[in-house]
Structure 1
Amino acid sequence: MYRVVFMGTPDFAVPSLRALAARSDCVVAAVVTQPDKPVGRKRVLTPPPVKRVAQELGLSVWQPQKVGADDVINQLREVKPDVIVTAAYGQLLPQRLLDIPTRGCLNVHASLLPRWRGAAPIHRAILAGDAETGVTIMEMVRALDAGPIVGVEKVAIAEDDNVGTLHDRLAEVGARLLMQVLPGYLDGSITPTPQPEEGVTYADRILRSDEFVDWRRPTDAVYNHIRGLSPWPGAVTTWNGLDVKIWAAERVPGEVIGSAPAEPGQVRNVAGVGICVRTGDGWLKLKQVQPSGKRPMSADDWFRGIAAETVQFQASEVKA
């Protein structure tokens, strides 16, 4: 019976935790997750998804502020894990923690490493217009997502995928792949393969400045920007000095719009098509938007409510 410590925080990690807890050859000795955080306008203290599921499964839960603190390291040593498994935990693990388990530490990472090492691999893959991504199970080292590879599964990125749909597929793939490679990793029959030196890219976390849409960019780039930030944190444009979030859009053939000139960011209600916005080389149909201070709504309802013939969105980022 192998002793496992699982470290994870958001929804992405939940399928892997459930799969580990269901194994007959493993016991999840402890679950380490981030502290509860205030959520929403009322700042209600809310547990992370992994904590809720771990409690549902009757597992021991730890929520240290700093996972590298002496008391946490000592607790982990007392547990005597054979392996530590992490999935989107949210803190860097110090070397003395990585040295604790007798067989090593595995990480479930949502990209085809070495592409998109870092915090936001799902967002960055869609923002870049990648045709595929996947999940890599790697052995952890001190450097960011640079450890040798234990297993990989590719996943196609569909034309209509957004971060939410792709996230959910990758979370399930990650759990399944972890279950496939874990026995071989633990018994030594799988030898981790070093990552190639070519093709390294970094998936930096999404900043406020990343959210703003530049309507002057090509249609495909703007479309990928919108779906690469939906359903969180959302692509943003400005109108009349206020933010408008763009949650969903779709491509439309340029010939259905007509030949009347328009500046990037100009919005029109096109008969038989809907609410369309000009990009650098074409048009996108807006499907769902969210004006500042209001709930998400259809673009048709929003445009009808403002009673304007045309609207001019700000063409690029104006604030950080």
Structure 2
Amino acid sequence: MRILFWGTPDFAVPPLRALLGEGHDVVGVVTQPDRPRGRSRSQLDPSPVKLVALEEGLPVLQPAKPRGEEFLAEMQALAPEISVVVAYGHILPMVVIDMPTLGTLNIHASLLPALRGAAPIQAALLEGMTETGVTIMQMVPALDAGAMLHVVRTPIDIDTTYGELHDALAEAGALAIVQALALLEAGASHPVPQDDARATYAAKIDRNTAHLDFRAPATQVQRVIRAFDPRPGAWSTLRDADVKCFSGRLVGDGSDAALDEPTLASPPGTVRSIDADGMIVRCGVGAVRVLDVQPSGKPRMPVLAWSRGRGVAVGDEFTAASLS
């Protein structure tokens, strides 16, 4: 089966390597153009997927957008039987979706129809899900709405971070696409339409989404910390300076019953203790323990090192008000 692979970030690398490792005929890779970086913007960085493609000697296509006569001719010259898309970064027009004789498959990081959209991994954590997964679906013009071919499930632990879940789902995507193609080749693939009435959506992440409101229950505060660990980092303000919080843990079960009297009497956002085990911060209900922080302009560091360097002390208060 001649496969044209579409992908850009790290998340797409395990599926590409899996297809190559299983001996599939990957005829080429489509990825986003190299990105400039540095102050001068003169250095161009290739995508993680492009680096693998070059390593494997695969043809690489990098259109600014996947359309136009020149790109379509390049794609047609590769004669793909099927396209596999994972985190490519652009919406594909119907002419591109339909060009391969067997159509186009997409690897989506949720159990569809739940969490269609741009940020399903973060959304699964923000919603407190105990399970998510990867769905292989037929690509259609509507957002993540195609018929489902195969699903691989992944558990979510109470302390799982975005980085950990991202890597687990990338590996699950690799397994899922290999299994889906095997079913397809054996004639045993049976697409299942999605129930649109059950669809939910994972909106694109912005700075406000990652803002910590310590007036919320500790269970929700901890979810926000986990959902943006290691990037971009859940943040709040202390002493008029932004600080990102990482490695959040619930104190006890996250309820007020787990707290001592001084903590119970503290307003949300109050720092109740700082030691080698981290920093306990009072929430609207319960409290969270934060192990690492990143002050503005500094690298990530243990809480104790931060408190000694900045003079942060018990009784200091994070800004509790949410952004407008």
- TM-score computed with the length of structure 1 as normaliser: 0.94
Pair 1:274–1:255, CA change in 2 (3 A): farther
What is the DSSP-based 3-state SS (H/G/I as helix, E as strand, rest coil) of the residue aligned with 2:132? strand
Provide the rounded CA distance (Å) in 2 between the counterparts of 1:39 and 1:138. 34
1:297, 1:33 → 2: CA distance?
34
C-alpha distance after superposition, 1:18-76 (max 9, x if no partner): 1112233x311110001111346675421111011111111111111111232112211
The TM-score with structure 2 as length reference comes to: 0.93
In structure 2, give the amino acid aligned to 1:90: G
The one-letter code sitting in structure 2 at the alignment partner of 1:223 is Q
Overall identity of the aligned pairs, in % = 44
Letter paired with 1:95: M
Tell me how far 1:184 sits from its aligned partner: 2.5
Give the total of aligned pairs.
Answer: 317
RMSD of Structure 2 on Structure 1 (CA): 1.8
Partner of 1:128: 127
Aligned partners of 2:181, 2:57: CA distance in 1, in Å?
A: 23
Letter of the aligned partner of 2:97 in structure 1?
A: L
1:111-144 CA distances to partner (integer Å, 9 max, x unpaired)? 0000011111101100111111000000111101
Q: Which residue in the other structure is 2:279 paired with? A: 275
Gaps of 5+ in 2: none
Q: Contact (CA 8 Å) 1:10, 1:88: kept in 2 or not?
A: yes
Give the stretch that moved more between structures: 13-22 or 141-150.
13-22
Q: 1:149 to 1:205 in 2, by over 3 A?
A: same
Is there any run of 5+ residues in structure 1 with no aligned partner, and where?
none
State which drifts further: 101-110 or 68-77: 68-77
Equivalent AA in structure 1 for residue 85 of structure 2: T
State which drifts further: 254-263 or 166-175.
Answer: 254-263
For 2:259 and 2:308, how far apart are their aligned partners in 1?
Answer: 19
Q: CA separation in 2, counterparts of 1:231 and 1:270?
A: 21
Q: Distance in 2 between matches of 1:28 and 1:298?
A: 44
Report the 3-state secondary structure (helix = DSSP H, G, I; strand = E; otherwise coil) of the residue aligned with 1:17: helix
Q: Secondary structure at the match of 2:196?
A: coil
Secondary structure at the counterpart of residue 312 of structure 1: coil
Superposed, 1:1-320 pairs within 5 Å as 2-24=1-23, 26-39=24-37, 44-186=43-185, 188-253=187-252, 257-260=259-262, 261-269=265-273, 274-307=278-311, 308-318=313-323
Kept after mapping to 1: 8 A contact 2:278/2:302: no
> 1:278 and 1:162 mapped to 2: Cα distance?
21
Deviation readout 1:250-294 (Å, 9 max, x if unpaired): 111356652121111111226796421111101111100011111
State whether residues 258 and 286 of structure 2, in contact with CA within 8 Å, keep that contact through their aligned partners in structure 1.
Answer: no
